[in-house]
Structure formats: C-alpha cells, structure tokens
Structure 1
Amino acid sequence: MAQAWETEFGAEGGLFRSLRSACAADWAAYTWHPFVRGLSDGTLPLPAFRRYLIQDYLFLIHFARAKALAVFKAESVEAMRDKAEAIRAILAETTMHLRYCEGWGIAEAEVRATPESAETVSYTRYVIDRGLAGDILDLEVALAPCTVGYGEVALRILADPNRRTEGNPYQSWIDTYADPGYQAIAKAAAARIDALGESHGGQARFAILGSTFAEAARLEARFWQQGLDAAEGHMASYETARR
C-alpha cells in the first residue's frame, strides 16, 4: 500500500513520479535521512542544526540565482512572471531566515562571514550547471528535489510514529514545511515537472533527466549529512578539551 507522501506530489504516470521511482533508494536516503529523523524525534544535535541553518542561507542565495536562470530559460511570458515572483519570494525568505537564525543564537554577521561548505558549493553549482547546459526542463528537474523533497520530508515527519509532538525544539521548522502554503508550492513544482515533461519530450530524455534528478537527491542527502558531520566534530573537540 502506497504511503501518503508517495502519491501526494505529481500525477500517476507523470514525469515527476517516474523520476522519483527511478531513484527510489536515493530519494528515500534523502527524504528520510538520519538528520530528518532527528528533526522528527527532537534528538538532532544542536550543532548539526546550526550548521544546516547557516549553509541553508547560503544555499538560498544560489537558489535565487537558479530561479533567475529559469526566467531566461522559461518557455513563455507567463512562466517568466512566475519565476520572477519566485525570486522575490526567495529573497524575502533570506531576510526571514536571518531572523530565524538569530532565534537560534546565530548572529547575522556570523552567517554572512561563514564560507560556503563543499556540500553547498557542489549542490548549488550542479543545479546551475544543469540549467546552463540544458533547457528549462533540465533546470526544473534539478531544482525539484529541493522544492518537492522538503514537502515530502514534512509529510514523512507528520506520519512518523516516533515523532516528538511535545517540546520538540525543531517544531517550528517542521511547521514551516508542513504548512498548507508550502505544501501547495511543492505540489505545483511537481505538477510543473509533469507539464514540462509533456511539452519538452520528457520521456524521450528520461535517461538524462533521471540522472539529474538522482544526483540532486544525493546532493540533498549530503547537505543534511554535513550537519551531522559538524555535530560529530563538535563533540570530538569537546571530548578532547575535557581530557
């Protein structure tokens, strides 16, 4: 029996679900990564979340640039308007993200002074590279694991029997992506992949598109992992200092 998150995004027989199914193991490793499970049950080490928050801000900057490239690559004036609006929303989100970081004790100056990690560089430049090398479908497929994936992550957390519902320090993050507004954005992104698949020969190009989608999912998993790696390094330093 299919889980709710498996049928929530994209149409049956559409390109998005086909891409997701073709890399099912990589997709599951991303959307139910140990980092995500730590968000769900509230056990994620704080240094892991702090690392994630800072790098996610840096990611958002390049996400806006990728959307700007989507304006250039867009297939219609209407699509250009939609992407231009997305850029405005993402840039507004960077301001909100900085305020959110402050709530976790991370000053704006610290966020801005932090260099991009190797994981952030590899993921964001991969997305932009696919957009520069291909057309709007190539770019949208590279972007979809982020937009749609976070929607699925939220649904997985809500269905998790081990989810901590009282006193979870990460509840505000969960609420952001479980919110109907974000869920609508994720559904629209999956529907757009389906539509572009029809108009831009998605099935004929499935091997390349599938490779792009799978690599983006793997890069998303590495983006989570960098937080856990940072937490392990923090604990190792702490133990060394105690000796």
Structure 2
Amino acid sequence: MADFFDGSFQGFLERDPGARFTDWLAARAEPYWSSATEHPFTRAIGDGTMPDAAYARYLIEDYTFITDLASTLGYLVAKAPGMSSKARLSAFLALLASEENDYFLRSFEALGVKPKTYETAAQGPTTRAFADLLLKSSGKGTYAEGLACLVCAEWCYLTWGLREAGKPRPEAFYLSEWIDLHALPGFEAFVTWLREEMDQVGAGLSAVEQENVAQLFRHMSALEFAFFEAAWTAETPSLPEEFQRT
C-alpha cells in the first residue's frame, strides 16, 4: 500500500472502490500502524515471555491513563451527532470504569506493585503525549478528530488481541485476561462500530478535513508504538521529527 501513503481518500477509492475510510487511515499511518500492532511487547503478552518488570511498567502507565481515556469518551459522548452514538460510547465508558479497574487492582497485587506506587504514579512523557493528543482532539477538536484518535487506540488493541487470542493462553492470569479483554465479542463489536462510525463520518468530510484526521491517526499510531516500546525497554523513545513539529 506504499503508493497510498501520500494520497487522498478519493485516490484510495479510485484504486480500490470497496475500500473503507478506516482502511485508508491505517494505510496512511504506516509504518507506525504495523509497528504498533506487531510490537514484540504484544507478542510477549500472548506467548507468556513477558518480563514481570516490563508488564508492571506497562500497567502502571496504563493505569495513570484510564482517567484521561474516560474524559475522552465523555467529550465524544457530548459531541456525538445522535443518541445511538452517544449510547454506544457511554456503554463503553461504563465498562471501562468497572471491569478494567478490577483487573488492574488484581494484577498489581499479583505483580507485587504496592498501592502507593500506582496510586501516586505520574505519567511518563510517552503516556503524557498519548493522553494529550487524545484529550486535545476530543475536547478541543471536532467529533471526527476525537473519533479518529479513539479508533486508532481501540482498533490497535483489538488487532493484536484477536491475534493472540487464537493461540494457547499464557499461565499468568494478568496476561491471559488482558488478551481476553481485548478479544471478547463485546469489545470486538464496539471496535467494529467505531470503525463504521468513522467510515461514515470520514466520508462526509472535506479533503482538507480528511487529511487532518489522517494525520491524527498517524500520530496516534506512532504513540501506540512508543507506549509499548517504553514499557518494553524501560527507555523513553524519541518520536519521529514529523510529530515533534505538531
């Protein structure tokens, strides 16, 4: 798909009339989209080779991010064009505040992470950049801009979650349950709806607006990769120059 990276959505459709707007977003986000969904960290979750220290780093960062994700969903609920869209987003927000929070607490205990550690943890620079882009796009941006960032985040997790769900589960419950949370039919249905919503909204945007949305999705893909990389290596990865200018 390399010949599509700098092309418009209209050009993408001319080459493949059956393509979806979200297909175009993923194509325009390469190589970052594939780097995120195929990151060694995600494969280590599935095959059970995840070092405890790396997963603890990851969970602490993700735990600090949950409130920002909830705020992002709240902004999108307010901006969603219809009641059915508001209901979908609200239902996911309710799920996020219940099932995932319980998972974090049990996993921290199993990994020996003390409450004072995760309750007082400050976001690392990669997590902060990730959260800032989501909050800015959903809070100050348009519905389409916020939706593009959310689609990227959730679709990325569904992609690797479904891949790892097709393999034998690792013994550690905090790894196997994390796979299940991102491969359950309910989560898959929500991401399917997110893509459909983005397809519909994106197709109605002007060419300039579509390009802006594509750049946001691309930036989010790079940050998804950086988030996994930071947990995997215990270092803060530098984003490519194209994102440092935004």
Name the TM-score class by shorter chain: 0.7 to 0.9
Residue aligning to 2:202: 197
Offset of residue 183 of structure 1: 1.6
Q: Distance in 2 between the 1:62 and 1:14 partners? A: 29
Give deviations 1:69-108, integer Å, cap 9, x for gaps: 1122221233333333332222224531223322332233
Structure 1's 144 and 56: CA in aligned 2 closer, same or farther, altered over 3 A?
A: same
1:2-41 equivalence runs, <5 A: 12-41=18-47
Matched, 1:141 2:139: no
Asked if 1 retains the 8 angstrom alpha-carbon contact of 2:47 and 2:169, the reply is: no
Offset of residue 206 of structure 1: 2.2
Q: Distance in 1 between the 2:132 and 2:73 partners? A: 13
Q: Distance in 2 between the 1:216 and 1:110 partners? A: 27
Matched, 1:104 2:129: no
Give deviations 1:136-174, integer Å, cap 9, x for gaps: 011000111111111101123245xxx6x2654322222
Offset of residue 203 of structure 1: 5.1
Instruction: Provide the secondary structure at the position in 2 that maps to 1:187.
Output: helix
Segment of structure 1 superposing worse, 180-189 or 210-219: 180-189
Q: Distance in 1 between the 2:37 and 2:183 partners? A: 14
> Runs of 5+ in structure 1 lacking a partner?
1-10, 232-243
Asked if 1 retains the 8 angstrom alpha-carbon contact of 2:65 and 2:127, the reply is: yes
Matched, 1:152 2:159: yes
Residue aligning to 1:229: 233
Give deviations 1:218-238, integer Å, cap 9, x for gaps: 10111111111229xxxxxxx
Structure 1's 98 and 213: CA in aligned 2 closer, same or farther, altered over 3 A?
A: same
Instruction: Provide the secondary structure at the position in 2 that maps to 1:125.
Output: helix
Amino acid of the residue matched to residue 93 of structure 2?
I
Asked if 2 retains the 8 angstrom alpha-carbon contact of 1:35 and 1:44, the reply is: yes
Residue aligning to 2:59: 53
Residue aligning to 1:62: 68
Amino acid of the residue matched to residue 125 of structure 2?
A
Residue aligning to 2:88: 82
Offset of residue 204 of structure 1: 5.2
Structure 1's 183 and 86: CA in aligned 2 closer, same or farther, altered over 3 A?
A: closer
Offset of residue 202 of structure 1: 6.2
Asked if 2 retains the 8 angstrom alpha-carbon contact of 1:151 and 1:186, the reply is: yes
Structure 1's 26 and 13: CA in aligned 2 closer, same or farther, altered over 3 A?
A: same
1:115-126 equivalence runs, <5 A: 115-126=122-133
Q: Distance in 2 between the 1:87 and 1:14 partners? A: 26
Q: Distance in 1 between the 2:184 and 2:77 partners? A: 27
Segment of structure 1 superposing worse, 123-132 or 98-107: 98-107
Q: Distance in 1 between the 2:219 and 2:118 partners? A: 27
Q: Distance in 2 between the 1:104 and 1:183 partners? A: 28
Q: Distance in 2 between the 1:35 and 1:111 partners? A: 21
Amino acid of the residue matched to residue 89 of structure 2?
K
Residue aligning to 2:223: 219
Paired residue for 1:113, among 120, 128, 131?
Answer: 120
Instruction: Provide the secondary structure at the position in 1 that maps to 2:205.
Output: coil
Paired residue for 2:137, among 115, 130, 134?
Answer: 130
> Runs of 5+ in structure 2 lacking a partner?
1-16, 236-246
Q: Distance in 1 between the 2:40 and 2:206 partners? A: 32
